[in-house]
Chains A and B, each alone.
Chain A
């Protein structure tokens, strides 16, 4: 089975700090791949390298067999690689609906000059975008928030809206950075079901950073564990969970100490 996204030998240093070192990750078609690891393991850095927001020192990113390492970020997104942010990548100056319109940017069929001189096609296209955006909001059950500003909305809702915006970019593969943070266990569970449904309906391939262990075991087909910039281990969620090194990395060596001593590094 061909991999949609292949990260090969990715490495980046910030001064003396080796943030990523020889990371290899395959994201096969139609799979939900989890990326877990303690705080500071380099998960978000990896996302930034894949998206081209950081310039890695070495390594390549291949998208459907094509080397896209050197493409600028916006071109990668236009190709179909969507990404969400750990601390919410929404534009506060815009309303919920406008954020979803912004997200459809790569697919807008009018030019900048046509837009500012008010060509009729702009109005038609904007109407179509609006309909698309409402469809996404309806799907997420947020239609009633379309016209509201982002300020004052609960964190979990913002996370959900962000999922909406990344869907609106019409992605082929999405990189989700802790999608369930700010959600309670019930919501996280509901989110997991929604994610599986999304994959079914939109043919999505997903690479996601996630700390919510039940969610990872529930939805992920495959899990990579990152620790100190290296892939510690990878495999099916159940296998990874029992891997002694993973438990050590997460719980600081003591497997049974999960009631009183909450691992401080499990949450960044």
Chain B
């Protein structure tokens, strides 16, 4: 057992292990080619789209924006929002109300400044209303917070969306587009550009101190605080950013439809949004975008499958839209049980390879290996007189299985295991 503690040694840095693995020139060319083909396919799909097809893509892009918004709450802060339809709806009505009532736009005449002011107001109101939720989230977590968000959504639907001057009741509030974006095609490009901007923001969020701080808060608030992270500020900030994204998505949604009705924002759709983020892969922006767009396009894809379409429409006498509510939970279940990490995890070998890493199917990517590999390491340990079995146990120190030393309250596992050593040492000291 005296060898047990020794094997917990930190791996020794080797002089040639400092350089990270980088692909060769051919490797980069291959990656460039594959990336070009993927982008080309995407463009082939987007560029020729007009009218109905373009509108469908706009809808999918708006779903992707909502997915990114929910991803901030669910993926980064680790909370669940079942009331996101409230923020999206508030954004939609805010923008529509401003454009119609304050800027006096009509279908025929709507200026760009008025439109964008409406969008900015939607962003601001979305951020503020989500900020309130963030303040609640400072005190309540997990399931209880999810319930609060659920109520939040219901309250919004039954109060704010019922205000006559804001929503004009069941007939809806017009949300005209400016002339420049009057066609579905040009509006689609606007939506895509905004999605691109939000993806950039999300990228910078994750790769700067803000994202690290938010993830630290998710992990443990006390630990985050000992890295000088202001827990309160970052939590509220994350919720506000999510709300801003949601408000923006709402505004885009309103002007896509050119009319907003309260019944567009239901709990059902909020649930679907939660599911699409889970299926896409929590905390992974590319997966979330793909998952969200897939969910948005699903009713359309169903109609493309003849027998399925016939089954839903004629046999079940249902709308293909409703089928999403069946398929969504099923996919989420598959994600939770079989395909952990969702779409993002399934495509991760490709995305990792494209980003310049070695190709590997292992979800954690390529583990850094010491030269000579495991065998040499083990042999080295043997020479210094340790048992390889203990080594193997120590290398799995993070998993409690088969290593009872580490399972004890996480306090100081090895000290317990090496009790005899301590005794010897104490003897030596005395």
Which A residues have a C-beta under 8 Å from some C-beta of B?
51, 53, 72-75, 77-78, 82-83, 85-94, 98, 101-103, 105-106, 108, 110, 112, 115-118, 122, 126, 138, 140-145, 147-157, 160, 165, 169, 178, 181-187, 211-214, 217, 241, 258-259, 262, 266-268
In the assembled complex, 29 residue pairs joining A and B whose CB atoms fall closer than 8 Å, in A order, are A51-B226, A74-B228, A77-B225, A85-B223, A89-B222, A91-B224, A94-B212, A101-B212, A102-B213, A112-B234, A122-B208, A144-B368, A149-B364, A152-B367, A153-B398, A154-B7, A154-B395, A165-B227, A183-B8, A186-B6, A186-B9, A187-B6, A187-B9, A258-B423, A258-B426, A262-B420, A266-B422, A267-B412, A267-B419
| 8 Å CB contact of A183 from B5, B12, B230 | B5
Query: Looking at A103, A144, A157, which has the most chain B CB atoms within 10 Å of its CB?
Result: A144
The answer to whether B108 has its CB under 8 Å from any CB of chain A is: no
A184 close to B6 (CB less than 8 A):
yes
| 8 Å CB contact of B415 from A83, A88, A94, A182 | A182
What are the 3 tightest A-B residue pairs by CB atom distance, in nearest-first order? A181-B412, A184-B5, A87-B410
A147 to chain B, nearest CB (A): 7
Contact digits for B228-241, partner A, Cβ 8 Å, 1 yes 0 no: 11110010010001
Which chain B residues border A85 with CB–CB below 8 Å? 223, 226
Which chain B residues border A82 with CB–CB below 8 Å? 226
Residue of A nearest to B391 (CB): A154
Which chain B residues border A181 with CB–CB below 8 Å? 411-415
Which chain B residues border A150 with CB–CB below 8 Å? 398
| 8 Å CB contact of B410 from A74, A88, A98 | A88
| 8 Å CB contact of B411 from A83, A86, A153, A157 | A86
How far does the alpha carbon of A213 sit from the alpha carbon of B171 in the complex, in Å? 78
Q: How large is the interface on B (under 10, 10 to 19, 20 to 34, 35 or more residues)?
A: 35 or more
Given contacts A77-B225, A86-B411, A268-B411, contact A116 B241 (CB under 8 A): yes
The answer to whether B394 has its CB under 8 Å from any CB of chain A is: yes
Which chain A residues border B107 with CB–CB below 8 Å? none
Which chain A residues border B422 with CB–CB below 8 Å? 212-213, 262, 266-267
| 8 Å CB contact of B215 from A78, A93, A178 | A93
Tally of contacts, chain A with chain B, CB under 8 A? 226
The answer to whether B205 has its CB under 8 Å from any CB of chain A is: yes
How far does the alpha carbon of A122 sit from the alpha carbon of B412 in the complex, in Å? 39
A211 close to B226 (CB less than 8 A):
no
How far does the alpha carbon of A33 sit from the alpha carbon of B161 in the complex, in Å? 63
How far does the alpha carbon of A93 sit from the alpha carbon of B213 in the complex, in Å? 11
Residue of A nearest to B370 (CB): A144
B13-21, B23-31, B180-188, B301-309 - the one binding chain A = B13-21
The answer to whether B143 has its CB under 8 Å from any CB of chain A is: no
How far does the alpha carbon of A214 sit from the alpha carbon of B14 in the complex, in Å? 30
The answer to whether B219 has its CB under 8 Å from any CB of chain A is: yes
B20 close to A143 (CB less than 8 A):
no
A151 close to B398 (CB less than 8 A):
yes
| 8 Å CB contact of B201 from A89, A92, A116, A217 | A116
Interface residues of B in 398-430 (CB under 8 A from A): 398, 406, 409-416, 418-423, 425-430
A184 close to B230 (CB less than 8 A):
no
